[in-house]
Amino acid sequence: MRIVLGVGAGIAAYKSCELLRLLTESGHDVRVVPTPDALRFVGEATWAALSGHPVTASAWSEVHEVPHVRLGQQADLVMVAPATADLLARAAAGMSGDLLTAVLLMARCPVIFAPAMHTEMWEHPATQANVTTLRERGCVVLTPAAGRLTGKDTGPGRLPEPAELMRIAVRAGARGAAGLAPDLTGRLVVVSAGGTREELDPVRFLGNWSSGRQGYALAATAAARGAKVTLVAANVTLADPAGASVVHVTSAAQLRDAVTEAARDADALVMAAAVADYRPEIRSESKIKKTPAAPEPIRLVENPDILRELSGRRLRAGQVIVGFAAETGDLLGNGRAKLAAKGCDLLVVNKVGHGTGFGVSDNEAVILAADGAQTRVPLGPKEALADVIWDLVAGMFAG
């Protein structure tokens, strides 16, 4: 894949060196196009050594090759990381005062902006208006990560980690090569992931084997397709996916509160988390000690059925709700019964156990629809299953 890596003038430019290395080592042909001021943070020699191509920020270099035309026309993907507030503003205004903004005007391939700036700059109405403008034009503008910024400041505005940016780039580039547009642009989606834990005492809990990989694949794939993503993650140790606002929770009750709050304005909700059906009736405030006597039985009480609750009282008109069913027996029989009981639009039924489903990189499933349709997804990367799910959701939006 031929990639143009645009680099804005922000301190996060140092992270783009690692992104460049990851892309080139994966076999992609990357041309780095920094803004003139970006070269104050990382010099031409670094970009040239890592990419294997000459680097310039000026449209006046190699004029006979008309670089802004050549780079823009030949690129399969343009990713701008970091995208500063100034660069977003100039891109939204259609300015072309340097090589990078000129390339952005020429590009007809997928364009991804990965913003990085202080929280106040990101939240300013002018920046948000520019983000809206770019998204309306079909660009993918990722939601920045939250965390440590420059100095002692923390908050939204951090550039996502390079490995996660690469993941988004590869997904978006593959869709672009197939002639597929970012069809979730302008959509707000909520995804739950991981497995909840119900505490027995300060040390022990009831849980499950879910790693959160499928939910994270859904979040990353939705971001690559242009969606604004909120990810509610239960006990997941994976790196936060680029382009998603992540809310970390522990128990089913906490997940219920976080998902309900996030879903109020959502166009789609995908409940991929493995939520505990039961919790201990009483949580011991101290560690339960082993004694010579037989242990007291642990009484369980039922947790709220979050999927059924939200399916029954759609928080927004036209909201599409997708559930997951992890099964070990009759997949179709159990799945159809669960789809009818839950009331969601789609139910993804997948087999789990013995190295299948939980904790692995691949998955296979049957997706059941409320109208009786079913879609089989063969064993493959969890991102592939995620794309099929979003294909069906996008189709429901269009319908």
CA distance 188 to 265: 7
Catalytic-role residue among 208, 235, 303, 350: 208
Side-chain-side CA neighbours of 143 within 13 Å: the count stands at 26
8 A C-beta contact, residue 349 and residue 327: yes
Q: In whole angstroms, give the CA distance from residue 397 to residue 399.
A: 5
Instruction: State how far the alpha carbon of 125 is from the alpha carbons of 131, 140, 209, 228, 344, in Å.
Output: 10, 19, 43, 17, 36
CA distances (Å), 316 to each of 139, 274, 303, 319, in order?
A: 26, 24, 24, 6
Q: List, in sequence order, the alpha helices (H) in the chain.
A: 13-25, 44-51, 67-74, 85-93, 99-106, 119-123, 125-136, 162-177, 213-224, 252-262, 306-312, 331-342, 382-398
Separation CA 131–CA 335 (nearest Å) = 40
State yes or no: is 208 an active-site residue: yes
- Spatial neighbors of 280 by CB under 8 A, at least 6 apart, are 198, 199, 200, 206, 298, 299, 300, 301
Contact 234, 246 (CB under 8 A): no
Give catalytic residue positions.
208
